[in-house]
Amino acid sequence: WFFETFVLKGRPGHRPHHPAYEVLFNSYYNAVGEQFPRPRRGLLTRPTVAEIWRYREVVDAQIGELLAGTVDTRTLAVVELGLHHEQQHQELMLTDLKHAFAQNPLAPAYRDDRPQTSQASPPLAFVPHAGGVVEVGHAGRGFAFDNEGPRHETLLAPFALGSRLTTAGDYLAFIEDDGYRRPELWLSEGWAFLEREAVRAPLYWSKAGDGWELFTLRGQRPLDPHEPVTHVSYYEADAFARWAGARLPREHELEVMTRPLPVAGNFLDSDALHPRPAGHSDGAIQQAFGDCWTWTMSPYTPYPGFRAPEGALGEYNGKFMCNQHVLRGGSCVSPASHLRATYRNFFPASARWQFSGIRLAKDA
Question: Domain range holding 345?
Answer: 126-363
pLDDT of the residue at 10:
84
Q: Which residues lie across from 212 on neighbouring strands?
A: 207
Question: What pLDDT is stored for residue 262 in this prediction?
Answer: 97
Q: Structural domain tally of the chain?
A: 2
pLDDT of residue 114: 75
Residues 130 and 168 in one domain: yes
Phi, psi of 65 (to 5 degrees): -65, -40
pLDDT, mean of residues 275-287 = 90
CATH number at residue 286: 3.90.1580.10
Radius of gyration of the chain from its Cα atoms, rounded to whole angstroms: 22
**pLDDT tens digits, 250-268:** 999 999 999 999 999 999 9
Least Cα distance to 333 among 262, 274, 289, 258 occurs for 274
For the segment 72-97, the average pLDDT, to the nearest whole number, is 96
pLDDT band at 315 (very low <50, low <70, confident <90, very high): confident
Question: Are residues 130 and 178 located together in one domain of the fold?
Answer: yes
45 within a domain of the structure (yes/no):
yes
CA angle 190, 296, 239 (to 5 degrees): 35
Residues 86 and 181 in one domain: no
Q: Quick one: pLDDT band at residue 113, thresholds 50, 70, 90?
A: confident
Domain assignment of residue 283, yes or no: yes
Is the pLDDT at 116 greater than 80, yes or no?
A: no
Among residues 41, 69, 102, the one where a domain terminates is 102
Residue 325 shares a structural domain with residue 178: yes
pLDDT in tens, 213-233: 999 999 999 999 999 999 999
Report the C-alpha gap between 180 and 261 in whole angstroms: 35
Cα 309 from chain centroid (whole Å): 23
Q: Is residue 226 part of a domain?
A: yes
At residue 140, the pLDDT reads 83
Q: Residue 270: inside a domain, yes or no? A: yes
- Can you give the pLDDT at residue 223? 97
Summarize the confidence of residues 4-32 as an average pLDDT.
Answer: 93
The answer to whether residue 261 is domain-embedded is yes
**Does some domain include residue 28?**
yes
Is 225 in the same domain as 352? yes
The answer to whether position 107 is within a domain reads no
Instruction: Output the CA torsion 263→269→275→280 (10° steps).
Output: -50
Instruction: Establish if 172 belongs to a structural domain.
Output: yes
In a shared domain, residues 91 and 155: no
- 314 band by pLDDT with thresholds 50, 70 and 90: confident
pLDDT averaged over every residue in the chain: 96
DSSP3 helix / strand / coil % (the chain, rounded to 5)? 35, 15, 50
Residue 316: its pLDDT value, please? 83
Calpha distance 244→175 (Å, rounded): 12
Instruction: Answer yes or no: is pLDDT of 270 > 80.
Output: yes
Q: In this predicted structure, what is the pLDDT of residue 281? A: 76
pLDDT at residue number 207: 96
